[in-house]
Amino acid sequence: MTTHIRHNKGVVDRNPISRLNVRSYSKEEIDRFVSKRPDLQPHIQSKKTASNHKKFPKTPLHYRMNKDALEYFKEYAKEVKDPKFYHITISFDHRTMCSLSPNDRPDFAKAVYDVIWLRLHTKLGIKKPKKIKPEYNKYKDLPRIYSVLETRDRYGQPTHEHWHIVCAIHPKHHKKVNDLYWKSVASSPRSFLFDNQTYYYEEVVHPLEVTEIKVPTDQKGYAYWKDWSQLETVLDYDNKQASKSRELFSCFSPIKEASNATTHPIRRAG
């Protein structure tokens, strides 16, 4: 039985799609009809998902930061055996960000990040992490962190500032890293001052989104190697603003031994 769409008498339906008896046409016929009508394209186009962001054209900056960040973590994996990798997202209350001027939003996001960065260390029992130098034995114990301050959502559309963080944690700390650890990291001081105004963390900072990134060790005979594919995908996603906006605000901590590395987020254009 074919279903027909009834129209009220005297009412002109200007949407050609609604005049189609959809069930009496094959998908190929409908696609062929719609392809000849550009005005109908928005009705049938599917929204881009985070899984197909790889299809976006990438800039040299995007490729370079993917490579630099991956090498940063590979170098650490050579120094210590089997660190664990985590992906952390810090996002903020929409109304709070709207109340700030565009020029103040990055500084506001950085103020929150600095507190969470410090607690990532102190909750592992690492005191005064900024004073631990490369020549110290405790230097290897420091988490390796790559951070990106982004203003694009998962679909590549403009949005408010938020942080993406990839964190590698030394094996000696693995037993400490559990749900309680992440809750303690997120339990920042009740309030803080920014531009002479008091803000409450629970009102302006959303709960941390934390996911473990699997980097398994594969074996074939006597040969062993790590599968970095999941980390590569995460880094490519985090760096997407380098292609979407042709700039990237990112940093390494501790500093990566490279000319374009910094412990503070800087604007990289490309």
Beta-sheet pairing, 247-253 with 223-226: unpaired
- Range from 10-19, 109-118, 161-170, 226-235 carrying the lowest mean pLDDT: 10-19
pTM value > 0.85? no
For 109-130, b/e burial (b = at least 16 CB within 10 A) is bbebbeebbbbbbebbebeebe
Separation of alpha carbons 268 and 243, rounded Å: 11
Q: For residue range 4-51, list pLDDT tens digits in order.
A: 434 444 444 444 444 444 445 565 665 665 565 554 444 333 344 444
Could you read off the pLDDT of 135-155 as tens digits, one per residue? 888 999 999 999 999 998 888
pLDDT at 200 over 50: yes
Give the model's pLDDT for residue 246.
Answer: 80
Segment 218-241 mean pLDDT: 86
